[in-house]
Amino acid sequence: MTMPEDKWQPVAQRKKEEQHGRIPSEWRLSSLPTPDVTNYMDIPRKCGLLTAAELSISEQYDAVALAKAIRGKKLKCIDVTTSFCKRAAIAHQLTNCLTEIFFDDALKRASELDAHLASGKAPLGPLHGIPVSLKDTFKVRGHDASIGLAALCFNPATENSVLVDCLLNAGAVLYCKTNIPQTLMALDSHNNIFGRTINPLNTALTAGGSSGGEGALIAMRGSILGVGTDVGGSIRIPAMCNGTFGIKPSWERIPYAGQEGGALPGASKIGLPASAGPLAHSMRDIELFFSAVSAQHPWTRDPDVVPSPWSPTIASSKQLRIGIVRRDGVIDPHPPILRIIDEVKTKLQSAGMQVVEMDITPLFSQCQSLANALFGVEGANAMFDLLESFDEPLSPWLSTRLRRKKPMPLTKVQHLHGEREELRKAFLKIWKDEHGEIDAFICPVAPHPVPPMDRYNGVSYTSSFVLLDYPAGVVPVRMFGRRDMQGELAETDSLGNWDMANRELCKWGSGTCFDREMYLGSPLCVQVITPTLQEEKLVAAMTSIDNALKKDHQVSAKL
C-alpha cells in the first residue's frame, strides 16, 4: 500500500522539472563529480563546455572591467551574458545554487543592449550589459519569488522589486535567482522545493545562508556581481563561507521594497528591518553597485530610502584609524579566528594605518539577546500559515528550533525597541577616544571557521550590527591552513549555551567532537564595521584593508 503524497511534493517535482528544462541541453555536464571530489572550483574550466573566450570573460574581468570593455565596444553584451549564463548553469549543476532561471530573457535583453550601443546611443547606465544575479526574494516580473515554499510556487510576480527596476535602469542584465533556506531563518541554504546548496570550495562545509545560493554562484564565477539580503548575517555569512566580498548596508540606504519574505506587510516595522546589498569579487565592483543604484534616485520609489547620492570617500590609508574588536562577550572565537585578526592588524600597521585596540564587550554582549527577541515579535505565524497550507514540513535544522508562537503584546514590543534605542545611543561613544575618531573597526564574522552543513553556530557577530543599523562588510583574508589547526580554546567556564556549542567545533576527534581537518582550504575573513549610513566610509575602509592585505601577498610572492 502506497502512502499518499503531501500537497507540497508534486509542486516541488514540477518546479524542479521546470528549472531543469530551462538549462539548454548543450550546457549540461556529461557527468557529475564523484563523492571523493570535494572542491568544484576547477570544473568549469575543465569540463569543456566553455570556450576560451567565455573562460576569459568569466575569469579575467571584474564588473568594472567588463563595463569598460562593453562601453569601448571590445566586448559585446551578448557574449558576456552568454558566458555567465553558461557558467551559472554549470555552477548550478554542481552546487544547486539557482532557483529561477531566465537565460532566454537575459540573452534577448543583451541583444537589445548591443543594438542600443550600435545605434550610437550612450550606455543606459554604469551597469550597461553587466549580468547581475539576485537572491530569490527579489521579485522579477513574470517569474516566481517562491522563497522555496510550495505555497508561493507558480505564482509569477506582476511587478518588479524597486531594486530590480533600479538595476535594469542602470543597464544590468538579470539572468537568474539564487537559493535560500526555508523560512529565510536558517544559516544553511536548504528548502523542500529546490533542495540544498553545496559549498564549491569544500562540499562538506556549509555555503551559508540565507543568501547561500548567491555566495556559491559568485564563488564559482557564475556571477561577478550579485545581490542578497541580510537581517542577521545573510549576506555576510555566505560571503565568509564562499570567500567573497559582501556588504550589509544600513537598511535606509538601498531599496528593499517589493521583496517576498513570507511575512505580512509592515512586519519589519515592528521587528528588525532587513537590508539589501552586494556580493562580489572586488571592492571596486561593490562600489560600482552602490553608485549605480544611487544614480537611480531610489528614494523617489521606496519611501524608506533616505535621499543620499553616493559620494565616494577618498582617504589615504595612513589617515585611517581602525579599531580591533576581538570578542563580543557572548561566544569566544576559536584560535584561528583570533590569529587572523592579529595578522590583519599587523598588515594594517605595516600599511601605515593607525590601529586601536577596542574592548566593547560590555555593550556588544547585550546585542544578541535583544536582536533575538526582536526577530520573534510576530511569532512566525505568517510563515507557518504558508507551510501548513501545503502540508510542508520544516527542514531538519529548523524542525528543532522553530515553533509557532503567539505574537508579542504591544507593550513588550515597545519595551524592546526602547532597549534598542538606549543601546544604540550608548554605542555612539565607541567611535571616539582620547586621540580622535575611529573610522571603522574590524571583528570576526563568526567565532569559528566555515563549519559543516547545519553546524553554523551563533550569529552574535553579525546580527548585532543589524540591531544597531551599522553598515558591515566582509573582506576575505586567506585560506585555512594546517598551522591554523593548532591551538585550543582556554579552559575557562563557558559563556553560555552558544559558547558551549561553539567549543564543540574546535575539538579534535570523531563522534560528537569535530575534526579540524575539515576546515582546510576554507576561507578566513574579517568583518569591517562603520557607523549608521556611512557606507562610503565602509567601502573606503574595506578597500584600504584589502589593498594592505594584497600588498603583503605581493611582497611575500616576490620573496
Domains of the chain as residue ranges with CATH: 14-25+41-263+272-558 (3.90.1300.10)
Q: How confident is the model at residue 314 (pLDDT cuts 50, 70, 90)?
A: low
Output the CA angle 60-61-64, nearest 5 degrees: 165
CA nearest to 127, candidates 259, 248, 278, 251: 278
Q: Could you report the per-residue pLDDT of 257-310, keeping only the tens digit for each?
A: 999 999 999 998 999 999 999 999 999 999 999 999 999 999 999 999 999 999
Query: What values do phi and psi take at 525, rounded to 5?
Result: -135, 165
pLDDT for the residue 512: 46
Q: Could you report the per-residue pLDDT of 218-239, keeping only the tens digit for each?
A: 999 999 999 999 999 999 999 9
Q: Which residues pair with 506 in a beta bridge?
A: none
pLDDT for the residue 559: 29
Q: Which residue has the higher pLDDT, 514 or 223?
A: 223
Whether residue 316 is predicted with pLDDT greater than 80 in this model: the reply is no
Whether residue 327 is predicted with pLDDT greater than 50 in this model: the reply is yes
Share of the chain above pLDDT 90, in %: 90
Q: How confident is the model at residue 493 (pLDDT cuts 50, 70, 90)?
A: confident
Could you tell me whether strands 131-135 and 98-101 are parallel, antiparallel, or unpaired per DSSP bridges? unpaired
Q: Could you report the per-residue pLDDT of 434-474, keeping only the tens digit for each?
A: 999 999 999 999 999 999 999 998 899 999 999 999 999 99
Mean of pLDDT values over 472-478:
98
Mean of pLDDT values over 127-156:
98
Q: How confident is the model at residue 418 (pLDDT cuts 50, 70, 90)?
A: very high
pLDDT for the residue 516: 85
Mean of pLDDT values over 323-341:
97
Burial status of residue 337 (CB atoms within 10 A of its CB: 0-12, 13-18, 19 or more): buried
Q: Could you report the per-residue pLDDT of 56-71, keeping only the tens digit for each?
A: 999 999 999 999 999 9
Total Cβ atoms within 10 A of residue 72: 8
To the nearest 10°, the Cα dihedral for 70, 142, 237, 167?
Answer: 40
pLDDT for the residue 558: 38
* Whole-number average pLDDT of the chain: 95
- The CB-based long-range contact list for 394-399 (8 Å cut-off, 24+ gap) reads 394/182, 394/183, 395/181, 395/182, 395/186, 395/190, 395/191, 395/192, 396/454, 397/186, 397/188, 397/190, 397/454, 398/181, 398/182, 398/183, 398/185, 398/186
Q: Which range among 93-107, 485-499, 523-537 shows the weakest confidence by mean pLDDT? A: 485-499
Q: Which range among 280-289, 320-329, 456-465, 487-496 shows the weakest confidence by mean pLDDT? A: 487-496
CA dist 190 and 453 (Å) reads: 10
Q: Could you report the per-residue pLDDT of 180-199, keeping only the tens digit for each?
A: 999 999 999 999 999 999 99
Mean of pLDDT values over 157-182:
98
DSSP, collapsed to helix, strand or coil, labels residue 283 as helix
Q: How confident is the model at residue 506 (pLDDT cuts 50, 70, 90)?
A: confident
Share of the chain above pLDDT 70, in %: 96
Q: How confident is the model at residue 487 (pLDDT cuts 50, 70, 90)?
A: confident
Whether residue 135 is predicted with pLDDT greater than 80 in this model: the reply is yes
pLDDT for the residue 555: 40
Single-letter amino acid code for the residue at 375:
F
Point out the annotated binding site for substrate. Answer: 184, 210, 231-234
pTM of the shown model: 0.96
Q: Which residue has the higher pLDDT, 6 or 35?
A: 35
Whether residue 557 is predicted with pLDDT greater than 90 in this model: the reply is no
Mean of pLDDT values over 87-96:
98
Residues carrying an active site annotation: 135, 210, 234
Q: Is residue 241 within 8 Å of 162, Cβ to Cβ?
A: no
